[in-house]
Structure 1
Amino acid sequence: MPFRVDEFDDLPDNLSYVTWDGSAELPEDPALANFYVHPLVQDVSVIRRPLSQMTGLTVMQALSSGIDHLVPLLQRRAHHVVLCSAGGVHSESTAELALTLILASLRGLPGFVRQQTEGRWAQAIGRSLFGASVLIIGYGAVGAAVDRLLAPFGCTVTRVGRTRRMSLRGEVQAHSRLPVLVPSADVIVVATAATDATRNLVDARFLARMKDGALLVNMSRGSVVDSSAVVAALRAGRIMAALDVTDPEPLPADDILWRAPGSLITPHVGAFTSTLRSRLTGLVQQQIWRFALNRPLHHVVQYPEGPISRSNCALTNDLDQKRE
């Protein structure tokens, strides 16, 4: 795991612990590992490095809520490995950044920052979030956290999930309703899981349905949004976009998305705050205790034991799927 033993309040003393932060040299023989908490990195090649040698692996604990990039790493193993997500751990911090991006975009902060670097004083009228119509696509832990943060702004919030249901804050409508819901939204927050079914969910037709001047905020995965279609809509001056995730990542320095008018881009930092490490160690500690006591693990990702279809993956006991 990427954490030191002294970072935990309490761990079972009948297990051995090895710290590995993703550096080139592995500190122990990977074949001895039964429980793998991957390094705290976004580079899948680093996470993959010891897997082929982990012949005794039974559990892999992810440090992210999204696991679409990890499932393929396990599909050709000789035996099934239990994969657990970090469901719910990142929801509040990700929602916090979503709100930051919404306010920054609506009030024109990127333009004011550019003016500051130029030493130029030029006032402008921004748009208000108060009373705006907000559409949240993907009503798991992140979507629900965004909903809670919007409460003081008196927004009209429309919630969309995989299926129609009720939450503590109101009705969650099904994805099939999106064509009728998109045109009335001032702000659209995308927080849905990345699967084959949601790839390019936000495409040219979706963007054409958005009202002029509406803001698109992507907190999901870059693959959920068609980047070329977004660039075209931005260049036409029809919409604004605030993106914490892109396709590809990292976004190349010469990518036109960086300089598209009306865009605000952050480098996939929704989860990264000063409280991240303590939240993750809390989750890992709980999971290790459950592993040691042979109790069911939380946030288990169910997937076929043969070739893996990402669209068939589902989360069990995952806070990202827990109804609010």
Structure 2
Amino acid sequence: MAKILVSNEEDDRAGHEYLKDIAGLEIVEYDPDNLVLDELQRSVQLLMPPYRGSHRTLGLIEALPNLRMVQLLSAGVDEWRPHVPKDVTVASARGAHAGPVSEWVLSAILTQVRQWPALVRFQDRHIWAHRQFDADTLAGRRVLIVGAGSIGMAVARKLEAFDAESTLVASSARHGVHGPDELPHLIPGHAVVVVTTPLTETTLGLVNAKFLAAMDDGALLVNAGRGQVVDTDALVRELQSGRLRAALDVTDPEPLPSEHPMWDCAGAIVSPHAARTVPGTNRLCYQVAAGQIATFLSGGTPSNAAYL
């Protein structure tokens, strides 16, 4: 009987039912805020970091001598893979976040395109701002999506309903998706650039000053991937000049310090890494994770296993 260490927090308990259906798996609970383990907890072969704040439990890796798999509830593995021994499988919950995060992306785009930040500021001043702001439309606009995984593809499908045209770029080319070598030539001509790519050695700092300079005047950058994919200082300079706009769910650094100049950029809206945070996402993550664990225990390779 394999044992898995699973958080006892409320968001995690809601997903335990999916793990209970896996044959040959025993759930051992732990407190993510107390990393002192008893003998039973130290004997587990699988570790499930908590749904919220998984980084809190990075220190558990050294306390688990029998560890064979780390199953994350996040879409990315960049925070964990460098700290886990190479012979230990690390799998994500990729796919579970596509619905809520793609919905956030659409809401962020529409918020900026239709000038809701300006409208709210007018409302705060009790001003009927008829014809005092420049709203736009998504219809007929081109959107470049950097990252054609489950989230990026979901964004593209949602954009179709607004008569927008998507251009998809991934780590390798496939039918309907461009490869990374084509990216520099694709940036111009898009009203919106959406970042949904995971953080890897090749995507670290991908959206740098050169990338931003290639974006059309007035274009919108939306980052729902990882903060480190974007050069924050370069983006702040573009925002301060008024040439570009941005909608960010992730930043570098994160959390964004209260004194950071990004907060004062009129063309930016900042969401506190909350794109997936809607009711039911935790259960979706556990559902996907359970499938990955079941595959691993049966001797197969989980589809979301990462080898960064």
TM-score of the pair, normalised by structure 1: 0.85
In structure 1, distance between residues paired with 2:114 and 2:246: 13
Which residue of structure 2 aligns with residue 119 of structure 1?
126
Aligned length: 295
Please point out which of 205, 214, 217 is paired with 2:219.
214
Which residue of structure 2 aligns with residue 34 of structure 1?
45
Q: CA RMSD in A?
A: 2.0
Which residue of structure 2 aligns with residue 141 of structure 1?
150
Which residue of structure 1 aligns with residue 104 of structure 2?
97
Which residue of structure 2 aligns with residue 234 of structure 1?
239
1:131 aligns with 2:140: yes
With over 3 angstroms needed to count, the CA separation of the structure-2 counterparts of 1:156 and 1:6, relative to structure 1, is closer
In structure 1, distance between residues paired with 2:161 and 2:23: 47
With over 3 angstroms needed to count, the CA separation of the structure-2 counterparts of 1:226 and 1:18, relative to structure 1, is same
Which residue of structure 2 aligns with residue 307 of structure 1?
none
Alignment of 1:117-196 (within 5 A): 117-123=124-130, 124-166=133-175, 171-196=176-201
Which residue of structure 2 aligns with residue 86 of structure 1?
93
The SS at the match of 1:64 is: coil
Contact 1:12 1:292 (C-alpha < 8 Å) held by counterparts: no
Contact 1:290 1:296 (C-alpha < 8 Å) held by counterparts: yes
Q: What is the deviation of 1:115?
A: 2.6
TM-score of the pair, normalised by structure 2: 0.89
1:19 aligns with 2:29: yes
CA deviations on 1:99-156 (whole Å, 9 max, x unpaired) are: 0000001111112222333333223331111111111111111110100000111112
Uncovered stretches (5+) of structure 2, i.e. residues with no partner: 1-5
With over 3 angstroms needed to count, the CA separation of the structure-2 counterparts of 1:175 and 1:289, relative to structure 1, is closer
The SS at the match of 2:295 is: helix
In structure 2, give the amino acid aligned to 1:271. R
Which residue of structure 2 aligns with residue 63 of structure 1?
73
CA deviations on 1:186-228 (whole Å, 9 max, x unpaired) are: 0111111211211111111111111110001111111110001
The SS at the match of 2:28 is: coil
Contact 1:21 1:40 (C-alpha < 8 Å) held by counterparts: no
In structure 1, give the amino acid aligned to 2:21. L
In structure 1, distance between residues paired with 2:93 and 2:181: 28
Contact 1:215 1:239 (C-alpha < 8 Å) held by counterparts: yes
Q: What is the deviation of 1:13?
A: 6.2
CA deviations on 1:268-290 (whole Å, 9 max, x unpaired) are: 11211112121122123333433
Contact 1:244 1:270 (C-alpha < 8 Å) held by counterparts: yes
Contact 1:20 1:39 (C-alpha < 8 Å) held by counterparts: no
Identity of aligned residues (%): 33
The SS at the match of 2:26 is: coil
